[in-house]
A = this chain, B = another copy of it.
């Protein structure tokens, strides 16, 4: 949507809201629709080509308004999470469908998704062990529980361990910053020998530091064999899996119990919108379900009825699936794929510019929209360069450490970025580098 159409449509929306409020007394306070009313009214998957804004707004009036906030808010979410799951070619076990045991839910952040998965895994292992040995207390079990993630994982995984009150151990990643079977197996055997109870693994697809990928095809079978819950955090990289040429990066997801990525990061959906799927909804619900009378309703949880308050930390919910619906239809799957591809291509353009300048080195494989690079030389030199870049306020880079190296990260992320911006950014970095090296010599 260009600026002119945004102005026109935006103003129509303002009138829509005002009209709604002026006419609100004429509306029912409670909808007439039956649970499950929405799915038959909506296609089973996202459109390949864009719909018009007019079509979408007509559907809001026709499909959403009669279902008001409830059940429309819940039902649209379930269907949108199925749409998105199909775009990623997630295994069917993760989809809700009409009567599936799995399904998707929108969380606020990947941190929450990781925590929710950890809590579900904790409840599940405690129940299993207590069923086998009824005398065991939860405290005695929790003291021995241990979770694992790579040394490249996001800090939110460690935080989930802190909050859940369980040990979390980091597995040394390999030369490409990936978690591999051997390293995991080694720690696992040692821990089991010491009487600890491994129960939870977080694998990362697209780490924050350098966009590396844990080896799911190696790690997944170990988790299944050892009865450990496998959660996959693909917060950033997940959006790219809608492109067939990147889908192989998700291979091994079939071993996972839960999977999460953030459409608000790279799929043009506004913050916040973190998409989480589980294979067995009963596992999540088991961790959280409480049913006071003031929250009772006449429908019980089933494939047809979903009660998302049992799937998350907060009780209240916003109508976040509406923005997914708008974005998926305004762009179509092809439009979203084009957005991803453009960013990846621009990252490779930047990579090749860096490689042409012998003062620099590329520090990690460029797979998606992130380029990790540095000046050949000391960390101090690179810290000084970063300081010059960020002080100039023309571009902004966030650094990372890869092992003992201080590394700069050029991330392609704006909706409106073009090749010219990338080229200008690189020229700017080169100029500041020349200035820096001259100052160092003097």
Q: How many copies of this chain does one complex carry?
A: 2
Kindly state the separation between the CA atoms of A30 and B139 in the bound complex, as whole angstroms: 48
**B272 and A400 contact, CB distance less than 8 A:** no
Of the listed stretches A221-229, A249-257, A313-321, A336-344, chain B binds A313-321
Min Cβ gap A43→B in Å is 29
Kindly state the separation between the CA atoms of A208 and B122 in the bound complex, as whole angstroms: 30
Kindly state the separation between the CA atoms of A314 and B159 in the bound complex, as whole angstroms: 10
A209 neighbours in B (Cβ, 8 Å): 294
> Closest residue to A415 on the B side, CB-wise?
B21
> Closest residue to A4 on the B side, CB-wise?
B18
Query: Which residues 114-168 of A have a CB within 8 angstroms of B?
Result: 115, 119, 122, 137-140, 142-144, 154-156, 158-159, 162-165
**A138 and B165 contact, CB distance less than 8 A:** yes
Kindly state the separation between the CA atoms of A110 and B313 in the bound complex, as whole angstroms: 10
- A10 adjacent to chain B (CB < 8 Å): yes
> Closest residue to A157 on the B side, CB-wise?
B290
Min Cβ gap A4→B in Å is 8
- A22 adjacent to chain B (CB < 8 Å): yes
> Closest residue to A22 on the B side, CB-wise?
B3
**B162 and A165 contact, CB distance less than 8 A:** no
**A288 and B162 contact, CB distance less than 8 A:** yes
A11 neighbours in B (Cβ, 8 Å): 10-11, 14
- A194 adjacent to chain B (CB < 8 Å): no
For chain A, the count of residues having a C-beta within 8 Å of the partner chain is 68
- A29 adjacent to chain B (CB < 8 Å): yes
Kindly state the separation between the CA atoms of A147 and B27 in the bound complex, as whole angstroms: 45
Of B139, B271, B315, B395, the contact of A111 (CB 8 Å cutoff): B315
Contact digits for A204-239, partner B, Cβ 8 Å, 1 yes 0 no: 000011000000000000000000000000000000
> Closest residue to A399 on the B side, CB-wise?
B293
**A318 and B271 contact, CB distance less than 8 A:** yes
A287 neighbours in B (Cβ, 8 Å): 162-163
| Given known contacts A7-B15, A294-B398, A393 and B30 CB-to-CB distance under 8 angstroms | yes
Kindly state the separation between the CA atoms of A3 and B405 in the bound complex, as whole angstroms: 59
Kindly state the separation between the CA atoms of A140 and B22 in the bound complex, as whole angstroms: 60
> Closest residue to A264 on the B side, CB-wise?
B316
Min Cβ gap A418→B in Å is 10
Can you name 22 A-B pairs with beta carbons within 8 Å?
A3-B21, A3-B22, A10-B17, A11-B11, A14-B14, A29-B393, A29-B394, A29-B395, A30-B390, A108-B108, A109-B315, A111-B316, A122-B165, A139-B142, A155-B290, A155-B295, A156-B315, A163-B163, A163-B313, A208-B292, A272-B318, A293-B399
* A interface residues, Cβ below 8 angstroms from B: 3, 6-7, 10-11, 13-15, 17-18, 21-22, 24, 28-30, 32, 108-112, 115, 119, 122, 137-140, 142-144, 154-156, 158-159, 162-165, 208-209, 271-272, 287-288, 290-295, 313-316, 318, 390, 393-396, 398-401, 416
Beyond contacts A119-B163, A294-B398: 12 other A-B pairs, Cβ-Cβ < 8 A, are: A10-B11, A10-B18, A11-B14, A13-B14, A110-B315, A111-B313, A112-B313, A155-B291, A155-B292, A208-B294, A209-B294, A293-B400
